[in-house]
Amino acid sequence: MKGTVLTFTKIADLPSGRGRAGIIHTPHGDVPTPAFIPVGTKATVKTVLPEAMKQLGASALLANAYHLYLQPGPEIVDKAGGLARFMSWDGPTFTDSGGFQVLSLGSGYKKVLSGEFSGSGRADYTVAAKKERHALVDDDGVTFRSHLNGALHRFTPEKSMQIQHHLGADIMMAFDELTTLLNSREYQVESLERTRRWATRCLAEHERLTRERADKPYQMLYGVIQGAQYEDLRRKAARDLSAMEVAGRSFDGFGIGGALEKENLATIVNWVCEELPEEKPRHLLGLSEPDDIFAGVEAGADTFDCVNPSRIGRNGGLYGRYGRFNLTRAEFKDDFSAPVKDCNCYTCQNFSIAYLRHLFKAKELLGFTLATIHNEYFTVQLVQGIRQAIIEGDYLAYRDKVLGDFYCGSPLRSHSG
């Protein structure tokens, strides 16, 4: 079984820009694109049942190789029949390589990474530099300590592929080195070459494991493009990974990763997508805010993932047409109307904002569930709306309306109308 096995079908293009609507075909079903892929880090979207994720419109879920490697272990997931069966999810699945986590959770640079990925550009290097580093990168791989118990572990490209093959997701990511915007250009060049060599090793191990596990459904492997904010490095990475072939095996799609400042997001994604083949899908890692998604789609990204909808929900934040607001505000104490006016999600159709506020104030976990359901629904439906608008030819009107309301309106209007 050689080359690109699973296919991407393009259905419609944006008249301007690189955006498109299409379908990613996997053994566990199709993923209509553009699509938001909710994150189920440890084989679960926190506090939400799998059937609820299906009902709110999710076409696929993403789990994390690092976390599942540490607990319960990839062999357990393999024995269960793979990630989808283990988590009782009837649909396609993605896994990331673990590269982000070994270099953020274990590196001593979490504050730096968090600051950069927030788009503030004001990460505190001094704080991070004083922390003990728990991840060490060399040309062969990364040695790191578990954030759970401090135990020493090592990831190499081969190890990441072995873990992800055992997890059995439909779409996997190649192992890459995550850099930050604080790294020098010289280090970015060195790191990019390391990631290129690791990508070659990932393809070779992927080919070996695909042959060894021929009785399993084929798993699509994406190469991950780094290069920070440098146009020449981003374009080089995209060209290198597009042309890469090992034993007849090439990448089935591409992930766009690394440190991206918000104001440069569209520019960087556009550089990359100009170099990538049209017939293969592109995944933008770690973004979910409406303006970022529109920018990514227009630049050519097909799928997106992020923990924000669930994380914000667990902290009492709700997305609505006119922005994001906090449901624990005092004025909601005796407000028995829907949390978000005119929302068709399970939460808004069945519960009042007074009830959700009560759950959070009482520290009842059902509050996490209901807020997460709403936020995942909001994000999934937003991107489905983008897809439909591309197909119907009214994308610009849809974008301007959505972003105009979300960023220019009063957030509480989402609740009160």
| Shared-domain flag, residues 406 and 282 | no
Q: Is residue 377 part of a domain?
A: yes
Instruction: Please name the helix (run of DSSP H) or strand (run of DSSP E) that holds residue 10, with its range, or none.
Output: strand 8-13
Alpha helices in 9-64 (DSSP H): 50-55
Catalytic residue among 90, 252, 305, 334: 305
CA gap 13, 315 in Å, rounded:
38
What pLDDT is attached to residue 109? 37
Q: In what order do the strands lie in the sheet with 142-145?
A: 135-137, 142-145, 152-155
Active site residue 13: no
Nearest Cα to Cα of residue 41 among 5, 18, 69: 69
Task: Kindly state whether residues 318 and 222 are assigned to the same domain.
Answer: no
Residues 219 and 215: their CA atoms lie apart, in Å, by 12
The reply to whether 24 and 146 lie within a common domain is: yes
Number of domains composing the chain: 2
CA distance 15 to 70: 46
On whether both 259 and 321 belong to a single domain, the answer is no
End position of a domain, from candidates 306, 341, 368: 306
| Domain annotation covers residue 1 | no
In this prediction, the residues of the chain whose per-residue pLDDT falls under 70 are 1-6, 104-134
| Structure confidence at residue 365 (pLDDT) | 98
* Residue pair 351/316 in contact by the 8 Å Cβ criterion: no
Q: Tell me the pLDDT tens digit for each residue of 57-83.
A: 999 999 999 999 999 999 999 999 999
Helix (H, G, I), strand (E, B) or coil at 261: coil
Does 159 share its domain with 42? yes
Domain encompassing residue 130 = 8-306
Q: How many residues in the chain?
A: 417
- Please write the tens of the pLDDT for every residue from 31-53: 999 999 999 999 999 999 999 99
Look up residue 133 and give its two tokens: 């580093």
Indicate the pTM of the whole model: 0.92
Q: Which of 96, 176, 252, 302 is catalytic?
A: 96
pLDDT for the residue 73: 97
Question: Which among 278, 306, 334 is the end of a domain?
Answer: 306
Three-class SS of 172-183? EECCCCCCCCCC
176 is annotated as an active-site residue: no
Cβ proximity of 59 and 29 under 8 Å? yes
pLDDT at 132 (0 to 100): 52
Predicted pLDDT of residue 393: 96
Examine the fold and report which residue of 287, 306, 325 is the final residue of a domain before the chain moves on.
306
343 belongs to a structural domain? yes
Based on the domain organization, do 404 and 381 belong to the same domain? yes
